[in-house]
Structures are given as C-alpha cells and as structure tokens.
Structure 1
C-alpha cells in the first residue's frame, strides 16, 4: 500500500491530469454512443417529414434523385445517394434509412473531440464533450431520416480543416486532402459552404495581413477547388431548391429571414435564440450559456485569436446568407453551428473557473455555473437512455386498425398523415383504393392555422362519409395547428357515434358509425 502511494506521488501532475482527462473524455464519448444506439434500436415510426423524404428515396432511382424532390423536400445529393444505397443493401426499413444519420452522429463525437483538443485547454474538453453528447437536438437527429446530423459532422470537419491550415508547415498530401475533403463536403451538407467560406475568408485575410504570399497562394488554391465543386452542385441541384417559392414563403413566416437589409436587430435575436433552439437551453437559465459563451469568445480573443475567428466565421456567413434571402436562419437548419457555440461555452466555463477557484466563495459560484450548464445535457442523455423519444407512432395505429378491421370498413386518412400512411401502407397490406386520402390542406396558400375556407373543405370531405356504418379515421401529425384535432372530433361526433378509440403518442385511430 505504501509503495503504491509513493509511486502515485512520483507521477507528474501534468501527465496524471492529461491521462485522467483523456479517460474521462472517452467515457463521455462511449456514453454518447450508447445513448444514440438505444434511440436508434428503439425504432420509432417515421414522422411526417421523415416519411416525405423516405418516399422520395425509396420510390426514385439514383438519376431521379438529381431532380427536385416531391412533397417540398430538399436534401444534399450525397446524402440522398448514400440513403438510396442503404435501402438497396439493407432493405426498405427504418433501420436502413436511419443508418447514415447514426453513423454521422457517432463520427461527429470523435471529430468534435479532435477539434476540441485543437481549440481548448485540456480541462475544458470534458465540459465541451458533455454538452455535445447530451444536447437534445444532437441526440434526436442521430436517428432521424434527415441530413442534420451529417451537417454537424461536416461542419466540424470543415472547422478542423480551417484550424489545420494554421500550421506553419503543411505537407502537399495534406493540402490535397483538405481540398478534396472540402470539395466532397458540399455535396453532403448544404451549409458546409458557410463553414468553408468562413474558413477561406479568414485565411485569405490573415495571409494578406501577414503579407505571407506563400500561404495566400495555398489558401486560394484550396478554396478555388471548393468553389468549383460548389458551383457545380449549385447549377445541378441547389438552384432549383433556392427557387422554391413555397419553401421561401414557409421560412419567411418563421422570421428565418430579416425583414430588410437594415434589420440589424435580427442578427442579435438570432444569436439570442440560438441558445434555446437548437442548443436546447430553456428559460430562465438560458441567460447562463449566453453569457458564458460570450466569456469564452473573449477568452479566445486573448488566448487563441485565430481559433476564435474560425469558430465564429460560419455564424457570420450564415447571417449574411440570411440577409441575402439565400438560407433560412432557423432551428434545425442551423444545428450545424452548435459545435462552435459549445466550444465557446466550454472555453467560457473553464475561464470562469480559473477566475473563481482562488477562494472558497467564488469557487462555489464557479461550480454552480458549470453545474447549471451541464445539468441540461446530462439530464437529456440520461432520460433518453431510459425512455427513448417518440413522436408520431403511426405504426402502432395501423397495426391496431388492421387487426380490428372488418370486411366493408372504410379507412379515412387525415391529410397531414398522408406521407406516413403511404410509406407504411404496403407493409400493412394496404393498396391504393383500400383507403380514402383526406383533402389537401390550404396551408400552402393561407399559412398556418385553419382558415374558414379550409374548414369548409374539411366539412365537405367529412360529409361524404355520412351513412357509412364503420369508418376508421386515422390522424397523425395533427399538432401542427392548435385545436384542430378537437375541432375535427367535435364535428365527427355530431355526425355519428364513436365506437372505438386507439391512441399512441402523436397518432390516433377513431372508429365511427355514421349510419
């Protein structure tokens, strides 16, 4: 025992600390992988947006995926091609469709760890990893048939390239890897260009200010390859997506664009809201990460100014794209920015700890701040480990209806459940003609809510069911409009008698007798 203590005392504190922090970091990463696997294996139903994209992936050929997608969907071509390949290799199922998002999310854990080691002091790394592992959006999109977890992984990779370009000596093969990596990245992530543009602009300005002609030539050569790749993608795919009047109108209604080029307050509000959505902090504690992140950026200004510019440049370029009405700054579409603000929060946390740990009273304050920051991701991750997230469990509804359906029963599918029902229809033995698809809503024309002309269309649609003895009404994705479900059920109750009810999270089945 005494020998062990003596050996322990001989260990250099710096080596012991580094060894311990590395082990802690990998434990956190391992926990993050476990939580993501649990959610993936839970295999919840595809919800509305997932099903809409899945129908494009499943029903189109590789060449047809190059064309504008149906159902107002948009996704990077590289992402679509990998998704199509996964379906062909592993079958048309949720596991195949969600495999690439899961792999991207797990890869981003290691990429983020690598980036954090390049940007932060060692004690701040576990803080950054804990935030990254457990934040709600990052957990959720790890098992979502959408490109947002890939956006995060690609964004981290782009920032890592930016940090690597700061090296005094860069080998030719490294430059080739950076050029090819960035050129490929834009095909897998729409916002990748904002990260690469920010990185490129910073290094061009830095090379010009330092009068470093060699560095300037290198950066211009690498970024030119990125630009050529992006230009090819734009004319092949992004141009059509950017010209979608429906998508533009949809995001404008959500204040994802400023009202004018002079709407300076919009930039401030985007920064403020970023910490609530997608970073996931809620009122009133959201003020803590906002201030701590600001402290982290100030700390980086004095400690590693070049790192600060690389981390905030994607945010600034994305704001510029918003002002130009080219990219909506809203919610899941800016989840790719979260790693950079997480690094800012981690830097600020350690900076505050260094300033407060000198006496007992201030140390308590510093620990309280860090605890408040880490409580949200730790609680999220732990909760998801015990209770995986559900959203719109239409599979259970369709299974119940199929089991209890009698010959002659009529199925009426609420219009917002169309994509989900169509995706799962064949799996439960339904074909065209076996069900009635409800009317199209008027949201495309009159925005959110239920206008009187839309409600009149609902009533006309329901009135055609009068006189039918057994009608199954399947609802899903109905939380889109407040009180819509209650209004529909009230009208159906006035038409006939409710015989059976089956409800699960986000999806419902009602059996009516309208005779």
Structure 2
C-alpha cells in the first residue's frame, strides 16, 4: 500500500539536525535563554504544594485589600509593598492556587533571562557571555525561586534591570528618555524590592564617580538630584514596610547567624565571617558539591577574583556596578540591617556568574585549552546536573532549618 510504503521509508534527520546546530551556532545566547525559560516553565507546571513560608505569606494575601498596609503581617512575614499589592490583585482575579500566585515570580524569572542576555551581550565577549548565560539559565536557585510565592525572583529582575540601564547610561551617548526611565525605575525600586536599594546606590555611585572623573558636572548634579528623590522614596517605603513587621518579630533572631561579627574578637568570629562569604558558593550559587566543599568553594572564589580583576582592567566602571552593591549589602549585614545569606542574596548571583565566566576566560588565556576544559567541568557539570535532577518530579526538597534549598557547609 502507498501509505505503508511511505511510512516504511527511512527518515533522514540530517537536514533537521543541521538546522538545529546552525541555530545553536548563530544564536547561542538565545538558545540558552530559551532552555532556561523551558526549565522554569516545566517546574511551574508541576504546581508543587506550598511550603511553610509560602503558606504563611499566602495568609497575608487572601481576603485583604490590595493596598492594605495598615498593620503587621502575620507569621513573621515581610515583603515589599508593591509585591504584596500585585499578588493580592492576582488572587482576587484568579484565585489562590499555586498556578495563580506564582505567575508573578515566574514572569520575573523569565524576564530575568531576557535582561541577563542583554547584559552579558554588552559586557562580555561572545564565548564568555555564553558561559555566563549557561550558569544563569541552569541555576538551581534561580529556577526554584522563579516558582515560589516570595519576592526573591522579583529581586533578581529588578537588580538586573537597574544594572543594565545604568550600564547603558555609563557607556552610551546621553539620552533623555533612557535617563527618565532609569529615574522612574530607581524611584519605584524601594517599593518593588528591598535589596534594590543596594543596587541603585551601588550603580548610582559608580555613575557619579565616572561623571566627576570625566568633568561632566551637569550630569553629576542631575545624578545627585535623582539621589535625593530616590532617598525620599526609600525613606517612605521603609516606614511603610516597617509597619508590616510586628514588634515581637523573631526575624532578626532567625537570621542571627547571617550577620558577620564586627569587630571580630576571636578566631570563632573570623571563622564565622569567612563562613558567611564561602556559603554564597553553596547557596545561592550552588557551585559546591557535598564532597571537597572547601576545595570547590575556594576554587570558585579564586576564579571569581581573577574574573573581577580581568574585568577591572577592561571596564572599571562596569565592574564597580557589579561589586559595589555586593559591598553595600555586606556592610549592611555587618551593622545587622540585612542578612547576607542564601535566598536573601539571590540577586547577587548574576553578577557572580558574570565574574566567574570572565575568570574562566582568564584561565583559557593564561593556562591553555586543557586547563579551561577542566575548570568548565568543575563549574558547569555538577550545578547543571543538580538543577535538572531537582526539576524532575516527584522529587521533593528537604529544606534545612534556615529554609535553604541545601545544607550549609561552612557555618551552623
């Protein structure tokens, strides 16, 4: 029969495979972003049950007016006012199922892929940008928190957008529309994301120093005026957010382990501070497997430092925009205002991935191809495998006592 004869013919997949390889070769960043988006959507469609923190926050969203910030949130919960309002509106329209309430985190996770692609395309060489994109797209923490009813994913998206617009302002010809957009975003950021204050301050300081160095006094004056408006917005947002935190909260007791002792008075204090720094390579970067934890963490730290030095030689202003927010967040942790740990510093992951990718390029340039392949194996194989493993249902998370996705390795 003609139909059976047609079905029995061998299928030549060569043209299709050639087409796929051609797309990958021509647009690797887009392919990575699409794979990352597919991974996040796959996890979202599983519709896993709420865990404790999500359920506690959900209790402050249902049956509440969108802009009701008059009293403390229950169960020691806290979130930016704009995030609370947006989630309450979603719940009033679509209900309180995980598919509805996680729409905003998912949208932020998908938007982050697009923004990060644009950022690395401007900041890094093509091969280095691809590595940074792989680390970002297949990050376990970035994937997971794109599907959790908490503001961590919006923290990442806000930080990336502020950094990208600031980098454009630093490098490109003056544009009134871009500057207006940056001003609006900076002023609104305290209402959208708490750690955005560090990003705006860090990027703004980098821009200001650049304008002063170049003798562009008018631009510097405009930045200072914008800083005053932003500071007023931060003050008002902080006062409203403070009302959301009950007077008997145990939040600072819960996060007490994440504040480095200052000044350190003993070896234990120094060890705690070092542990807080190294722990970032466990959560949220997930570059440290259970075996040889110190080796992997120190190795990743060396690569990151090498990458930052390489980037400093090429573009000190861009490096400042990546590093200053980290420094400000750590300083806030030293004075016990912001815990430097885990999901609360998820927004630092993109900058770390950029510097790590730049560090790998340093290894390739000075150590050769074989060393570069070995470094890539250390940095890519375990994190990618772990992310894909965790994304396969019905795998369930075993949170540690601090609510992290994995156990701490360098601190209690």
Tell me whether the two structures share a fold, i.e. TM-score over 0.5.
yes
Deviates more, 1:18-27 or 1:41-50: 18-27
Contact 1:135 1:376 in 2 (8 A): no
Residues 1:75 and 2:79 are matched in the alignment: yes
CA deviation profile, 1:175-227 (whole Å, cap 9, x unmatched) = 11100011122211110001111111222233333332122113213323322
Matches within 5 A, 1:242-391: 245-252=249-256, 255-262=257-264, 265=270, 268-282=274-288, 283=293, 284-357=295-368, 363-387=369-393, 389-391=395-397
- In the other structure, the counterpart of 1:403 is none
Q: Deviation of residue 287 (structure 1)?
A: 2.9
CA distance in 2, matches of 1:221, 1:178: 13
Match of 2:63 in 1: 59
Q: 3-state SS of the aligned residue for 2:239?
A: helix
| Partner SS, residue 174 of structure 2 | coil
| CA spacing shift, 1:242–1:310, aligned 2, 3 Å | farther
Q: CA deviation at 1:244?
A: 5.8
- The alignment partner of 2:258 has SS state of coil
**Quick check: which has more Rg, 1 or 2?**
1
- Gap runs ≥5 in structure 2: 1-21, 406-412
> Residue 27 of structure 2: SS of its match in structure 1?
helix
Query: Distance between the aligned counterparts of 1:204 and 1:169, measured in 2?
Result: 16
Per-residue CA shift, 1:392-425, capped at 9, x if unaligned?
A: 8xxxxxxxxxxxxxxxxxxxxxxxxxxxxxxxxx
1:365 and 1:56 map into 2 onto residues whose CA distance is 52
Distance verdict in 2 for CA 1:242–1:375, change over 3 Å:
farther
Partners of 2:243 and 2:365 in 1: how far apart?
A: 49
User: Equivalents in 2 of 1:374, 1:391: separation in Å?
Assistant: 22
Question: Residue 190 of structure 1: SS of its match in structure 2?
Answer: coil
Pick closer, same or farther for the CA change 1:242–1:347 going to 2, 3 Å.
Answer: farther
- Output one character per residue of 1:431-465: Cα deviation in whole Å (capped at 9) or x when no partner: xxxxxxxxxxxxxxxxx89xxxxxxxxxxxxxxxx
In the alignment, is the contact (CA less than 8 A) between 1:179 and 1:222 conserved in 2? yes
Q: 2:120 maps to what in 1?
A: 116
Which is worse superposed, 314-323 or 242-251? Answer: 242-251
The question of whether the paired residues in 2 share the 8 Å contact of 1:295 and 1:348 is answered with yes
Q: CA deviation at 1:349?
A: 1.1
Structure number with greater CO (CA < 8 Å, separation at least 6) is 2
Q: 1:92 to 1:347 in 2, by over 3 A?
A: same
Task: Provide the rounded CA distance (Å) in 1 between the counterparts of 2:190 and 2:25.
Answer: 34
Alignment of 1:22-33 (within 5 A): 23-33=27-37
TM-score by length of 1: 0.68
Equivalent residue number for residue 218 of structure 2: 214
Structure 1 residue 51 displacement after superposition: 0.3
More strand by share: 1
Counterpart pick for 1:199 among 199, 203, 210: 203
Worse overlay, 64-73 or 40-49:
64-73
Q: Tell me, in whole angstroms, the C-alpha distance in 2 between the residues paired with 1:281 and 1:70.
A: 35
Equivalence for 2:164: 160
Say whether the 8 Å CA contact 1:179–1:223 is kept in structure 2.
no
Q: Contact between 1:186 and 1:193, CA under 8 Å: does it hold in 2?
A: yes
Q: 2:230 aligns with which of 223, 226, 229?
A: 226
Preserved contact between residue 54 and residue 149 of structure 2 (Cα < 8 Å) = yes
Equivalent-residue separation in structure 1 for 2:69 and 2:108 (angstroms) = 21
Distance in 2 between residues matched to 1:244 and 1:224, nearest whole Å:
33
Q: Counterparts of 1:270 and 1:344 in 2: how far apart (Å)?
A: 19
- CA separation of 1:239/1:292 partners in 2, compared to 1, >3 Å: closer, same or farther? farther
Equivalent residues of 1:133, 1:381 under 8 A apart:
no
Cα distance in 1 for partners of 2:152, 2:144 equals: 10
Q: Helix, strand or coil: the match of 1:57? A: coil
The change in CA–CA distance for 1:270 and 1:118 in structure 2 (over 3 A counts) is: farther
- Deviation (angstroms), 1:84: 0.9
Alpha-carbon distance in 2 for matches of 1:364, 1:244: 57
Cα distance in 2 for residues equivalent to 1:208 and 1:269: 37
Describe the SS at the equivalent of 1:165: helix
- The whole-number CA distance in structure 1 between the counterparts of 2:186 and 2:127 is 30
Deviation (angstroms), 1:26: 1.1
Q: Is the CA contact (8 Å cut-off) linking 2:211 and 2:220 kept in structure 1?
A: yes
Going from structure 1 to structure 2, the CA distance change for 1:127 and 1:242 (only over 3 Å counts) comes to farther
- What is the Cα deviation at residue 53 of structure 1? 0.3
Compute the RMSD of aligned alpha carbons: 2.6
> Match for residue 90 of structure 1?
94
User: In 2, distance between residues paired with 1:292 and 1:260?
Assistant: 27
* TM-superposition CA deviations, 1:89-121 (whole Å, max 9, x none): 211211111110001001000111111112211
